[in-house]
Structure 1
Amino acid sequence: MKSTDDVARERAQLEGWSTGHSGRDVALSALAEALHGRFQKVCELDDLKEAIGPHHTALGVRPPRNKRQPLSLSELAICLSDEDENRTEVVDLEDPMTLGRAASELRPLGHLDRGPSHHNPPCNFRPRFRKPVDMRDLEEAIELHRAAMDLRPSGHPDRFSSLRNLALCLLDRYDNRGLVADSKEAAMLNNAARTSCPTGHPDRDTFLHNLACDLTTRFKKPTDIRGLEEAIELHRAALELRPFGHSLWFSSFRKLSRCLLARYGDLGAVADLKEVVRLGRAALEFYPPGHPDYGTFLHDLACTLRTRFKKQTDIRDLQEAIELHRLTLELRPSGHPDRSSSLQNLAVCFSDKYDNAGLVADLAEAVTLGRGALELRPPGHPNRDISLHDLARNLSTRFEKQVTMEDLEEAILLHRAALELRLSGHPLRSSSLHNLALCLSGRYDHLRAAVDCPKAIMSDRVARTLHPPEHPDRSAADLDEAIVLEREALRLLVPGDCHYDVSRQHLTACRQAKARLGVMENGSDDSASEQTASSVSPTADISIDESDIVVACVGVAPI
């Protein structure tokens, strides 16, 4: 690799200059620049940290007005700023900003390199602004970028960089203040930057990639697909400039794949899924199993194949997804940070397989894998609610198949735990409410059937479940709670949505069961019971008093 050869060559050069020699400062700077250049290509933080040392040493052995001093100050400022981008602390940013200002002071108006000095300090201000949100830093960054751009007229090799960075700062200010003029100027500057970075420019791939990333960050509204469309085209163009083997190929590949999947989520075009699958297969063919990103390639392709299976129901996609997830799991042994994700996704695939073929063995596998994922997601894990919810659904499904009360009881406990993590405003709260209501109404149906069966011989455990000391009628309480949960779920859903219809269907069934329960408790005959139940209209107003009761309906789907 050329960058590695550069570092080795500059190290050898430095060894030829003894301490105190008049040319040692130049050799130190050259080594620092080579290390920083290698960091920019392979992103090894050790290179960046090592580069800072020679820059500091070079500055220390040069007199204040040495002609190379401005460049050293500027280069050191860039290294320190890059180091900050890989940290959480903010304090070090004072150092690069101070160095950048010093470099500008040593380069008066008309100095050949004053442009880079003006360009680098605002690049340091922008990260600091983005952390504590100090508008003064951002305003100064904008002012300096404008000054740098004035010194880089049309045709200057670095003009596109100034245009791009000024656009980013204006977009930051737009995000903070909402001034449309900033957004419009940023769009104009980005277009100008693309023109100023022609085909063949050595940094064109990086520019296209960063511009695409910025678009995907700022255009996330499903109603505004234009930004996403443009980002896809930019990522494609960047990927063409980063062939297999390029150090940044993986970054462009994954960003393009994510944009295509996002567009599929918005528009549902199978062609986008097909392209992601093609890219994933190409990655697996080019990169060997020992590659550090091989597990990620396997995982991403498996997830895309499962998504395509859900769209087209081609069982071959699901079978391949399971195979790839198993291979990924082997590459993520105990202690690997992504092992829980592989377990969870493999569990979902087996759940899909059960839904498709109805084999209990697949459902059992889904439960086992789901338990493994949950164990690796303790309280506080950001995805614990997903593992709780999915395991609960699989246990509830197994209860419906095998009627094992322990599965249903555990499903209820898990759904309650998931609901506690999905507070008001959580996008999946309605799903947890509905599925918990289904389980409660299912328990009501099961226990009520046991009570009504004259030949049923209930164990002590079932009897205690039916009538615990703290509640006179456990089954009726389940029905009450299911109605309350389903009512809240309906409030979170939009009429016309398929989930809204399913939830309303279940609520109607619960209200009818409540009506039948009231008739039976009053000692009425069966015909009266049926008449009362049928009087509860499926289109009745959904607002229910807290004292109303709930129950389950066979055939109502989870959501």
Structure 2
Amino acid sequence: MLSMTHAQETYSVNDLLATAQHLNNSLRTTQKWDVRDDRTTAALVKCRKGLPLLRPDHPMLTAVLLVISETLSRRFEALGEIADINDSIIFLGESLTISPSSQDGYIDDEDDLHAAALSLNVMGDALTSRFMHSKNSEDVDAAIDNYRMALALSSPDNPTHLQRRMELANVLFLRFNEHGRREDLDEFIQLERELVSSSETEPDEDGTYRSLALRLIRLGNLLALRYTNSGMITFKAKGQIEDIDGAIDRLREAIACLSGGNDLLDEGETHGSLAPILNLLGDLLISRHRKLGLIVDLEQATESYEKALALLPNNDERRPRYLRDLAGSLRLTFREKGQIEDLDGAIDRMREALACLSNGIDPADKGETCISLGFLARFLDARFRCTGERADLDEAIRCRYQAMELDPTKRYSALDNLSNHFFALYLVTRDVSGLE
């Protein structure tokens, strides 16, 4: 009788391991495996019932627990049942209790280190998934702790080390978005700096430096975010000039990566990537000009906006906005230098933007048209005050009326602007009829 029981147990353990192996293979198949079908449920039931047959020191116990956990996580992603991710985290917790990472002392076996780091990393993934569902701040805090421990156990030479740094960075930014903690953004930026440094020496598999360019762009955006007191930040940003300097430098490096030495990239793909970066660079240079008052920043911003615009197809929906950015830069240049040619250029660009909008590039967007009409009216008024050309003021007044017709909700602000235009006309003509 005892021998029969032993035979049944041996068979059951083998059957459990075979089922777990099948689940593992299915999860990693090149074709998307539907975890919602009955086969998954049956396999999970079988694995759960068979788990008590594995001794605590069984060499495959951790692997089976991880497979069950990953399957439950996948099913949670597919169906959104909170019980699945809760159970997944419980099984992961059990795997960590038998992992070397939970034992006292130094872990010097490379396989044990890898297994411990893997379990911690998967736990971080599961906690992040549950946080995205329930928004429980304890989950995102615990996820960060697990990612930190996984990273600490990973050798810098291990191919997974880079991926784990990226995962820690992403969840730090996730917590920053939720709670606005400055230290999370600071650490995220530091991790991004390290990722950029690790990408500077080796090209991608296709021989390009696309990954480096993307990380430089991301780092540039982060530094710009920390510099500006945007709506995403709930603390008061310091506005340190070092951040905007760094953002500008990183974007320039990204532009160099995308515009030079990338013969393998499709021209349209390269242009599509470069245009928004060049436009963002212009925005940052304008911000630094407002901070420091350097004319060179203003000139380089205008040049950057022009390059971005030149890369856009004529029917691109971004053209009106890019033209407006360029016009604004030219208007600022006119204020600094006093050269009427810059103001003429700003007016021409705004007329071009309005032509794009009227041609349906940005269809049915009355808001964009109203904004552009307001810019054009302001620039025409400025030129009228310089040259006294009555036609400019008449056109500015027509722009205000058109904007008011498109959006009656802005009637009062439009009337205020119109009164300013009519007063400017009175100062030149001394005709009071326009003031009535």
Structure 1 length-normalised TM: 0.51
What CA distance in whole angstroms lies between the structure 1 residues aligned with 2:154 and 2:86?
Answer: 18
Gap runs ≥5 in structure 2: 1-24, 48-63, 97-114, 205-209, 229-236, 260-266
What CA distance in whole angstroms lies between the structure 1 residues aligned with 2:280 and 2:131?
Answer: 23
> Alpha carbons of 1:294 and 1:188: their partners in 2 closer, same or farther (altered >3 Å)?
closer
Note the aligned Cα RMSD (angstroms).
4.1
| 1:376-400 deviations in Å (ceiling 9; x for gaps) | 3443x6xx77645433321221232
1:212 maps to 2:220: yes
Partner of 2:376: 346
Partner of 1:102: 88
Measured after TM superposition, the shift of residue 264 of structure 1 is 0.9
> Alpha carbons of 1:185 and 1:298: their partners in 2 closer, same or farther (altered >3 Å)?
closer
The count of corresponding residues between Structure 1 and Structure 2 is 340
What CA distance in whole angstroms lies between the structure 2 residues aligned with 1:406 and 1:104?
Answer: 81
Q: Which amino acid aligns with 1:154?
A: P
| 1:356-376 deviations in Å (ceiling 9; x for gaps) | 111111111111112222333
8 A Cα contact 1:59 1:73, kept in partner: no
8 A Cα contact 2:117 2:153, kept in partner: no
What CA distance in whole angstroms lies between the structure 2 residues aligned with 1:232 and 1:280?
Answer: 14
What CA distance in whole angstroms lies between the structure 2 residues aligned with 1:227 and 1:96?
Answer: 41
Select the residue among 253, 274, 278 that pairs with 1:237: 253
Measured after TM superposition, the shift of residue 265 of structure 1 is 0.9
What CA distance in whole angstroms lies between the structure 2 residues aligned with 1:115 and 1:225?
Answer: 38
Please give the secondary structure, in 1, of the residue aligned with 2:313: coil
Q: Which amino acid aligns with 1:102?
A: S
What CA distance in whole angstroms lies between the structure 1 residues aligned with 2:290 and 2:312?
Answer: 28
What CA distance in whole angstroms lies between the structure 2 residues aligned with 1:332 and 1:125?
Answer: 44
Measured after TM superposition, the shift of residue 349 of structure 1 is 1.5
Select the residue among 146, 149, 162 that pairs with 2:148: 146
What CA distance in whole angstroms lies between the structure 2 residues aligned with 1:96 and 1:314?
Answer: 65
Please give the secondary structure, in 2, of the residue aligned with 1:331: helix
Gap runs ≥5 in structure 1: 1-21, 30-54, 81-91, 410-559
> Alpha carbons of 1:140 and 1:119: their partners in 2 closer, same or farther (altered >3 Å)?
closer
What CA distance in whole angstroms lies between the structure 1 residues aligned with 2:303 and 2:26?
Answer: 54
| 1:47-77 deviations in Å (ceiling 9; x for gaps) | xxxxxxxx7x354354436998766776788
Measured after TM superposition, the shift of residue 318 of structure 1 is 1.8
> Alpha carbons of 1:237 and 1:363: their partners in 2 closer, same or farther (altered >3 Å)?
same
Report which of the two has the higher share of helix: 2
8 A Cα contact 1:115 1:151, kept in partner: no
Please give the secondary structure, in 1, of the residue aligned with 2:162: coil
1:501-520 matches, within 5 Å, as: none
| 1:317-367 deviations in Å (ceiling 9; x for gaps) | 222222221121111127324111111111111111101111111111111
Percent identity among equivalent residues?
21
Please give the secondary structure, in 2, of the residue aligned with 1:289: coil
Measured after TM superposition, the shift of residue 241 of structure 1 is 3.2
* Greater mean deviation of Cα atoms: 193-202 or 268-277: 193-202
1:402 maps to 2:429: yes
Partner of 1:509: none
Q: Which amino acid aligns with 2:163?
A: D
What CA distance in whole angstroms lies between the structure 2 residues aligned with 1:387 and 1:374?
Answer: 6
8 A Cα contact 2:330 2:343, kept in partner: yes
What CA distance in whole angstroms lies between the structure 2 residues aligned with 1:100 and 1:330?
Answer: 56
What CA distance in whole angstroms lies between the structure 1 residues aligned with 2:70 and 2:277?
Answer: 32
What CA distance in whole angstroms lies between the structure 2 residues aligned with 1:198 and 1:115?
Answer: 29
What CA distance in whole angstroms lies between the structure 2 residues aligned with 1:95 and 1:282?
Answer: 50
